[in-house]
Amino acid sequence: MRPARLLSFAVVLRHGPFRRVWAGQAASAVGDGITLVALPGAVLAHHSTTDLGVVLGAQSLALVGAALVGGVLADRFRRSRVMAAADVVRLVTAVCFALGAARAPLAVPVLLALVTGFAAGVFTPAFGALIPGLVPDEDLPKANALRSITVRTGQVLGPALGGLLLTAGTAGTAFWADAGTFAASALTLVGAGDPRRPGTAGGTVFRQAREGLAAVRERLWVLTIIVQGTLQLLLVMAPVAVLLPVILQERGEFAAYGPMVALQAAGSIAGGMAIAAWTPRRPGTVAVLSLGLLATQVLCLLAAAPLTPLGVSMAVTGFGYAVFNVSWASALHRAIPADMLGRVFAIDTLGTYGLQPVGLALAPVAATAFGNGPVLWVGLAALTATTVVPLFQREVRAFADLPAREE
């Protein structure tokens, strides 16, 4: 595949409204990466490792719990304004941490983490639902690919920058930089040109949430993929995420953990570029099989493979994640009515990630009780089943609604 075609996703930057929003989100992605380093550094400087777990757990739970509310807000109000409001909230919490909130009793950083997670939960479905209003339909895959590449690039650059800021200054310095990225994002969203009028559907938040659930149930392929994501995160992805650093520590190679994470992010960048340049005939088949590439990482861990093949498997896994995420987002953009998109993206987040904290918590317990190998073998079996079974549905293979076959 020619390099020029691999870079074809950049063509979406010719659309002014999308280019403006993308620039803000590029800065925000780097800021999110800075937070990954700054928050643990700030909390651990004044609290225990157990306290850090409480803070991070509060942030994760708030993010998932806020998703459905965020989806309703995204379908009821202008999505760019919902995103800007969420950025302002995260700006305030970053400033609080920059001023030394982590030194306060544990309840203070926990509260700020809850607020930050809630704002992120509101932001995410609004951003996913905004994109179809900024680019024409034929450019949706490229826009989603560029979004994926931008997020993954931020996950590489942000932690590196955060580490440098922590080394050169303090956690406060890193949080000031993080606050600046949220300010930049909020400014780009003001007057971003979101053409969609606010939703006119009446009823309570619960009624609108039920309407979103109905939209998912009406499309069995959408529900199938959400359930698939729930099972894979619970039984495979969460255990692998926990056991990778544990196994590297047991092997005396923990120093390789950071590069391994960076390799997965680099693979995601390559995957986003590849799927932007390719339109498969059966996008659902390609997307679902791409998630199955995680098996390479599981097999490397089971075989105690050296760092080089393990690193390759990390990049391959990241490649597959990006291919799936871009294909899935583009399929939802095309299949779901515009006034339902925010709620469907929220249900996807809630359904897919709702049990992730359970998987993260139970994986080390299971590994202690039964050993790393059995946990990984169960994960590999679950990955195989959840990759093969969904592909029996025609709509899953197409990632689209299809007419019923004639008898």
Q: Are residues 187 and 218 in the same domain?
A: no
| pLDDT the model gives residue 8 | 58
Q: Are residues 324 and 232 in the same domain?
A: yes
Contact at 8 Å (CB) between 184 and 21? no
Q: Are residues 29 and 102 in the same domain?
A: yes
Written as tens digits, the pLDDT of the chain (407 aa) is 555 454 556 677 888 888 888 888 888 888 887 887 788 778 878 887 678 777 877 887 888 778 778 888 888 888 888 889 999 999 999 999 999 898 999 999 999 999 998 998 888 888 888 888 888 888 888 888 888 888 878 877 887 777 777 777 777 888 998 899 999 989 988 766 565 555 544 556 677 778 888 888 899 999 999 999 999 988 998 888 878 878 888 888 877 877 887 788 889 888 888 887 788 899 999 999 999 999 999 999 999 999 999 999 999 999 999 999 989 988 998 888 888 888 888 888 888 777 777 777 788 788 888 989 999 999 999 999 999 999 999 999 999 988 866 44
Q: Is the pTM of this model over 0.85?
A: no
| pLDDT the model gives residue 386 | 96
Structure tokens, 248: 């590297």
The DSSP call for residue 202 is -
Closest CA to 110 of 54, 63, 42, 66: 54
Q: How many domains does the chain have?
A: 2
| pLDDT the model gives residue 223 | 94
Closest CA to 352 of 228, 181, 171: 228
DSSP per-residue codes, 276-330: HT---SSHHHHHHHHHTTHHHHHHHHHTT--HHHHHHHHHHHHHHHHHHHHHHHH
CA torsion through residues 161, 165, 166, 171, sign: negative
CA dist., res. 153 & res. 269, Å (int): 7
CA dist., res. 10 & res. 142, Å (int): 7
- 348 part of a folded domain: yes
Q: Are residues 222 and 143 in the same domain?
A: no
Q: Are residues 74 and 223 in the same domain?
A: no
Coil, helix or strand at residue 196: coil
| pLDDT the model gives residue 284 | 95
Q: Are residues 164 and 122 in the same domain?
A: yes
CATH number assigned to the domain comprising residue 116:
1.20.1250.20
Structure tokens, 206: 């619960």
* Burial class for 302, CB neighbours closer than 10 Å (0-12, 13-18, 19+): middle
| pLDDT the model gives residue 398 | 94
Q: Are residues 208 and 147 in the same domain?
A: no
Its domain, for residue 374, covers 203-401
Contact at 8 Å (CB) between 124 and 72? no
- 407 part of a folded domain: no
- 5 part of a folded domain: yes
* Burial class for 252, CB neighbours closer than 10 Å (0-12, 13-18, 19+): exposed
Q: Are residues 386 and 348 in the same domain?
A: yes
Mark which of 173, 194, 215 sits at the end of a domain.
Answer: 194
| pLDDT the model gives residue 200 | 47
- 406 part of a folded domain: no
